[in-house]
């Protein structure tokens, strides 16, 4: 059985969690519940979740960008080896809330860690494991931040980095998507959740059929 790896990327409050839930329900309706694995980064294993806590809580300037990149990569390596690779080898469809493109953008393009250093870390953390499809949920930064700030959570370290930081995240992701148009699909996340879901289903159905995961 062939596995299929889908990552979701986007800014704060772009609706990744909502869209992943809707896609899970759609896959279940197509008798693919057993084959679906939902996971996230940073996190996805007990030890990687412990590292996540260090990264997403506390003061915005708690870590230097290169330290952040190393911590993100440390948690990713645990996730790749213990969860993602075993799941793909048993034919799972993985829906992963963020993956190494987030490090490319947040710590690399915006944080200022060099491209070469980020790619070296990604190689160490992931080897050759890249997603088959990356869905970029793109939307207005202020609306997304407003949405994220209304959540009652201590996980607000990145939100507190401010609007200019997140504008750079948005344009960084769009540039990355333009550079890898086969892997990326950019979805306008500023619309109502059901419309966005329909677009995602069209996309995923086409890709899963092409990969012969769905018949």
- b/e burial code for range 44-70 (CB count within 10 A of at least 16 → b): bbeebeebbebbbeeeeeebeebebbb
Q: Nearer Cβ to ligand TMP, position 187 or 208? A: 187
- Within 10 A of 179 (CB to CB), how many other CB atoms are there? 9
98 binds ligand TMP (CB under 6 A): yes
Cα(108)–Cα(68) distance, rounded to whole angstroms?
10
* Residue 12 binds ligand TMP (CB under 6 A): yes
Contact 124, 77 (CB under 8 A): yes
- CB 31 within 8 Å of CB 133: no
Binding pattern for the stretch 158-187 against ligand TMP, x by CB under 6 A and - elsewhere: x-----------------------------
- With CB under 6 A as the contact rule, the residue among 19, 103, 122, 134 that binds ligand TMP is 103
CA distances from 120 to 63, 98, 107, 211 (A): 20, 19, 13, 29
Query: Which of 40/92 has CB closer to ligand TMP?
Result: 40
Q: How far is the CB of 1 from ligand TMP (least distance, A)?
A: 27
Q: How far is the CB of 19 from ligand TMP (least distance, A)?
A: 12
Residue 42 interacting with ligand TMP (CB under 6 A): yes
Residue 4 binds ligand TMP (CB under 6 A): no
Q: Smallest gap, in angstroms, from Cβ of residue 75 to ligand TMP?
A: 8
- Report whether 111 contacts 22 (CB < 8 A): no
- Contact footprint for ligand TMP (CB under 6 A): 12, 40-42, 56, 72, 98, 102-103, 106-107, 158
């Amino acid at each position: 059985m062939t596995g299929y790896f889908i990552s979701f990327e986007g800014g704060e409050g772009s609706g990744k969690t909502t869209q992943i839930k809707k896609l899970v329900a759609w896959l279940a309706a197509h008798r693919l519940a057993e084959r679906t694995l939902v996971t996230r980064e940073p996190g996805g294993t007990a030890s990687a979740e412990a590292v996540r806590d260090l990264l997403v809580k506390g003061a915005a300037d708690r870590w230097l960008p290169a330290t952040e990149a190393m911590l993100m990569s440390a948690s990713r390596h645990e996730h790749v080896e213990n969860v993602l690779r075993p799941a793909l080898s048993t034919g799972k469809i993985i829906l992963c809330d963020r993956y190494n493109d987030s490090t490319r953008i947040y710590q690399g393009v915006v944080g200022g860690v060099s491209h070469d250093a980020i790619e070296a870390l990604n190689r160490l953390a992931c080897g050759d494991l890249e997603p088959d499809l990356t869905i970029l949920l793109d939307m207005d930064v202020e609306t997304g931040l407003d949405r994220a700030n209304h959540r009652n959570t201590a996980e607000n370290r990145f939100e507190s980095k401010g609007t200019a930081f997140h504008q750079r995240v948005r344009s960084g992701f769009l540039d990355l998507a333009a550079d890898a148009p086969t892997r990326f699909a950019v979805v306008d996340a500023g619309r109502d959740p059901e419309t966005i879901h329909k677009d995602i289903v069209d996309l995923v159905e086409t890709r899963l059929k092409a990969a012969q995961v769905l018949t």
